[in-house]
Amino acid sequence: MSQAMTPVVDLQRVSVRYGAQWALRDVSATFPSGAVGLLGPNGAGKSTMIKALLGLLAPDSGEMRVLGLDVRRSPLQIRGRIGYMPENDAHIPRMNAVTFVAYCGELCGLPPADAMQRAHEVLYYVGLGEARYRNIEQYSTGMKQRIKLAQALVHDPSLLFLDEPTNGMDPKGRDEMLELIRDIAHNKQINLILSSHLLPDVEYTCDHVVVLDKGGIATAGPIATLKGPSGRVFELRVKGVADQFLAAMSAAGLECHATDEDVMRVFVPDERGPRFLFTLAAQHNVQVRHLRASVPTLEDVFAKAVGEV
Amino acid sequence: MASLFQYRWFQILLLVSFGPFVVRAVQFYFASTNAQVAEFLAATPDTFREFLSQQGLFVFLVVIMQSGLIADDRRTNALQLYLSKPLTRVEYVLGKLVPPLAFVLGVTLVPALVLLILQIVFAGSVTFLRANLFLLPAITLYSLIQALLSACAILALSSLSKSRRFVAVMYAGIVFFTAAMYQVLRAITGSRKWAVISPGEMLDVIANGIFRSRVEPAVPVYVAIVVVLVIVGVALVILERRIRAVEVVA
């Protein structure tokens, strides 16, 4: 099996519950190497899955493997090879950034001198180079997100778990964080699993996605594949007798769904193009009053997966 | 530990905690150089037992300053960071036990052993030590029991809250309230057996036993040992339940 095909995380029939509430129920999923988005509405079980994979939560049943290691048998080995950026604010009190990141490196097994050197490098990489001697408790929300990323990266992990990394960030900071994550995944060749409920974040940074809903897998696969075949969806409004026009579109192999009273969504394959719609309308004496491209997004995939459409 | 040393008041406290040590050292010096003084102030095993009792105040102060050890980590969510690294919960607790153990031993075991050495140096002979050879293990054992009890208690309390102040108040409350309750119950019932509710009294009983004191103990030494073991056990159970990366509110 090639490196690219080797799953970094594998879950088999995993169930986790809090009291009587099931957070994950019989979940089986495979996370390929590269950047994988873990999508789902709040309460879908994303954070629970990450914590179970880290060995912080014991599942009620099922098997989990991370980087080929059994989570139940080798939690410490796994934690030594992964980086975890938690969802909420987390830091060690009364430390400045460079001491904190270096200490995290030492906890992961780096010698003190190497940990300190890596801390400086990583803090520059995440954009905190100038603020590295400040106490973390004085940091803004955006800076706290960056320091969490830095401590997860300091020991050069094979796999990164990022739990809602853009939470609470302003638009500029969010864009910069997404750029960092994209760079980590695509240029630094570090596998990552990005848990988020923000679809654009996942779409921008990841190649694969696993959609969770109500503690189960709603859908999973490469984002490009899930978005469907290549082509474009158009919003179309016409004036005139539409029945024959609709029949002609169907006969021509165009997929057509009515959405509102007079607007329909038409899927036009790449080889046809929008001009074909005008030609067909002219042939059936129908006037095209509105034609707008509607690109299928991850949002469409997500909405379909969790049953919102 | 290093962060505590940054505070001037903590440095002053450690300095002041050596006050009784200096007084005892002066006492040993005069007792060894002046025969008349030696009649009143010569070193005895009780001198060391009393010295360790006097250090109780400093033990209380250095321990109460460790109230944020786990509480601060809970406040800043550092627990999930620690436990997401290759670190077990046992290792985390052992690491947190080090500062209170070190500071308590620093104000009890270290000065007491140095005092013993000073006594030998000032007297110019090992006669006293040879006659009281049990002092070496006695000082060590009692200091370790005191350090272990206080360290486990403050860690367990620290794991129960996110506020170091609340933890400090709880610790002080337990120490003073149990001592006061013992005195009240003793006055009402006339029985000294109520000492079992006061950890401080139990330490006294153990100290008297270890240092072979002739003072009649409030309860048998084995009872005091059982009480201390129960407190340490309860503290460990609390730590086992509270030191988790994920707090589940069912």
pLDDT in tens, B131-157: 989 999 999 999 999 999 999 999 999
Any B CB within 8 A of A144 CB: no
Query: Would you call A14 helix, strand, or coil by DSSP?
Result: strand
Predicted confidence band of residue A162 (pLDDT cuts 50, 70, 90) = very high
Q: What pLDDT was estimated at residue A41?
A: 83
Strand pairing report for A263-269 and A287-294: unpaired
**A20 and A90 inside one domain:** yes
Chain mean pLDDT for chain A: 87
Q: Under an 8 A CB cutoff, do A107 and B88 touch?
A: no
Query: Where do we find the tokens 């590269």?
Result: A34
Please say if the pLDDT value at position A309 is more than 60. no
**A32 and A151 inside one domain:** yes
Tens of pLDDT, residue by residue over A117-145, are 999 999 999 999 889 999 999 999 999 99
Query: Which of the residues A54, A85, A137 would you substitute to probe the B interface, choosing the one with the greatest number of B C-beta atoms within 10 Å?
Result: A54
Stretch 35-94 of chain B: residues touching chain A, C-beta under 8 Å = 68, 72-73, 75-78, 80-88
**A197 and A269 inside one domain:** no
The answer to whether the beta carbons of residues A306 and A298 sit under 8 Å apart is: no
A-B CB pairs within 8 A amount to 69
For A18, nearest residue in chain B (alpha carbons): B250
Measured in angstroms, the CA of A30 and the nearest CA of chain B are apart by: 22
> Tokens for A79?
């934690």
Measured in angstroms, the CA of B215 and the nearest CA of chain A are apart by: 47
Number of folded domains that form chain A? 2
Q: What percent of chain A has pLDDT over 90?
A: 50
- For residue A275, the domain's CATH number is 3.30.70.270
Q: How distant is the alpha carbon of residue A255 from its chain centre?
A: 29
Q: Under an 8 A CB cutoff, do A104 and B246 touch?
A: no
Q: Which of A170, A189, A223 is the last residue of a domain?
A: A223
Mean pLDDT on A255-278: 77
Any A CB within 8 A of B2 CB: no
What residue segments make up the domains of chain B, in order of their start? 45-109+129-242
**A50 and A67 inside one domain:** yes
Q: Under an 8 A CB cutoff, do B250 and A19 touch?
A: yes
Any B CB within 8 A of A69 CB: no
Give the domain extent around A214: 3-223
Q: Under an 8 A CB cutoff, do B86 and A80 touch?
A: yes
Contacts of B73 in chain A (CB under 8 A): 92-93
- For residue A109, the domain's CATH number is 3.40.50.300
**A22 and A160 inside one domain:** yes
Q: Which amino acid is at A116?
A: M
Any A CB within 8 A of B33 CB: no
ipTM above 0.85, yes or no: no
**A237 and A258 inside one domain:** yes
DSSP state for residue A308 in the 8-state scheme: -
Contacts of B83 in chain A (CB under 8 A): 56
Q: How far apart are CA B183 and CA A45, in angstroms?
A: 55
Half-sphere exposure of B209 (CA within 13 A, CB side): 18
Nearest-CB residue to B76 (from A79, A91, A108): A91
pTM: 0.83
Q: What pLDDT was estimated at residue A248?
A: 85
Query: Which of the residues B84, B90, B167, B246 would you substitute to probe the A interface, choosing the one with the greatest number of A C-beta atoms within 10 Å?
Result: B84
**A280 and A177 inside one domain:** no
Measured in angstroms, the CA of A178 and the nearest CA of chain B are apart by: 22
Q: Which residue has the higher pLDDT, B161 or A168?
A: B161
**A22 and A164 inside one domain:** yes
Q: What pLDDT was estimated at residue A261?
A: 59
Q: Which of A189, A223, A257 is the last residue of a domain?
A: A223
Contacts of B245 in chain A (CB under 8 A): 51, 54, 56
Query: Would you call A213 helix, strand, or coil by DSSP?
Result: strand
**A239 and A300 inside one domain:** yes
* Residue numbers of chain B with a pLDDT score lower than 50: 250
Measured in angstroms, the CA of B245 and the nearest CA of chain A are apart by: 6
Tens of pLDDT, residue by residue over A234-252, are 888 888 777 888 888 888 8
Q: What pLDDT was estimated at residue A1?
A: 41
Q: Which amino acid is at A150?
A: A
Task: Map chain B to HEC letters.
Answer: CHHHHCCHHHHHHHHHCCHHHHHHHHHHHHHHHCHHHHHHHCCCHHHHHHHHHHCHHHHHHHHHCCCHHHHHHHHCCHHHHHHCCCCCHHHHHHHHHHHHHHHHHHHCHHHHHHHHHHHHHHHCCCHHHHHCCCHHHHHHHHHHHHHHHHHHHHHHHHCCCCCHHHHHHHHHHHHHHHHHHHHHHHHHHCCHHHHHHCHHHHHHHHHHHHCCCCCCCCCCHHHHHHHHHHHHHHHHHHHHHHCCCCCCCC
**A138 and A267 inside one domain:** no
**A265 and A197 inside one domain:** no
Q: What pLDDT was estimated at residue B246?
A: 76
Mean pLDDT on A220-228: 80
Measured in angstroms, the CA of B6 and the nearest CA of chain A are apart by: 11
**A122 and A218 inside one domain:** yes
